[in-house]
């Protein structure tokens, strides 16, 4: 019981991605970037932590979180251009960049301008262990 409560609390708090486009997910079209990705967020300016890694899934070009229990969205165009907005409390950060093949990278900044940095992404397959 305690475990499930903690899990719910944690997942509810962990992070949220919101879409920049407002695209409806009801009819996703296959996208060459569909799959599981691992994204490392690097802070280069400001006091926003060093590096963190998040699991992200892309389905039909739509960015989602790797968890069922929290919101995730964003969009990837067929040429790999990606735009994401992350919201935390009353703050938000914008990220943009490009995916190519099994990797990607880009920049991000908080909308208040107090932190910024870059991000890298790698497509992930199944775990062997």
Partner 1 sequence: MTLPHKRWGVCAGTAVFSAIFVSAAWCDGLATGRQDGPTDRPILVAEAHAKRSSSKSDAKPQQPPSSTSAQTQLPPRTPFTAAEDAVATIPGIPNARFWADSEADFKNALPADPGPWLALSSGGEDGAFGAGLLVGLSAAGKRPDFAVVTGVSSGALMAPFAFAGSRYDEALKKAYTTVTAADIFEAGGSTGESFVNSWPLRDFIAKEITPELIADVAAADHAGRRLFVVTTDLDAERNIVWNMGAIAAHGGEDARKLFVQVLLASASVPGGFPPVLIDVEADGKRFAEMHVDGGLGGQFFVAPHSLMATTSDYHLPATALYVVVNTGLERDFKVVDRFAPSILTQAVGAAVKVDTRLMLTLSYAVAKRSDVPFHVASVPPSFDMPSQGSFDPKYMGALFQVGFEQGKGENAFSSEPPPYPSGTPKPPANHTEKTGAN
By the rule CB under 8 A, 22 interacts with partner 1 = yes
Rounded to 5°, angle at Cα 90 from 86 and 94: 25
Find the distance separating the first CA and the last CA of the chain, reported in whole Å.
28
Residues 101-120 contacting partner 1, CB under 8 A: 106, 108, 110, 114-115, 117, 119
| Rg of the chain, C-alpha, whole Å | 15
With binding defined as CB under 8 A, does residue 11 bind partner 1? yes
Does residue 92 interact with partner 1 by CB under 8 A? yes
Question: By C-alpha distance, which of 23, 29, 52, 48 is closest to 39?
Answer: 52
Minimum separation from the CB atom of position 60 to partner 1 (A): 9
3-state secondary structure 84-117: EEEEECCEEEEEEEEEECCEEEEEEEECCCCCEE
Residues 32-51 that bind partner 1 (CB under 8 A): 36, 38-41, 43, 46-51
Q: How far is the CB of 107 from partner 1 (least distance, A)?
A: 9
Verify binding: residue 77, partner 1, rule CB under 8 A: no
Q: Could you say whether residue 125 binds partner 1 (CB under 8 A)?
A: no
Considering only 1, 27, 68, 113, the residue that binds partner 1 (CB under 8 A) is 68
């Amino acid at each position: 019981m305690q475990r499930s409560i903690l899990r719910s609390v944690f997942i509810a708090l962990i992070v949220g991605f919101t879409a920049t486009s407002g695209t409806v997910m009801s009819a996703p079209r296959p996208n060459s970037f569909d799959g599981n990705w691992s994204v490392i967020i690097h802070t280069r300016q400001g006091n926003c932590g060093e590096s963190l890694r998040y699991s992200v899934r892309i389905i039909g070009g739509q960015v989602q979180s790797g968890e069922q229990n929290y919101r995730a969205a964003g969009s990837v165009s067929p040429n790999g251009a990606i735009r994401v907005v992350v919201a935390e409390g009353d703050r938000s950060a914008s990220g943009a960049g490009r995916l190519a093949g099994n990797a990607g990278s880009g920049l991000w900044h908080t909308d208040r301008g107090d932190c910024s940095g870059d991000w890298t992404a790698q497509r992930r397959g199944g775990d062997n262990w």
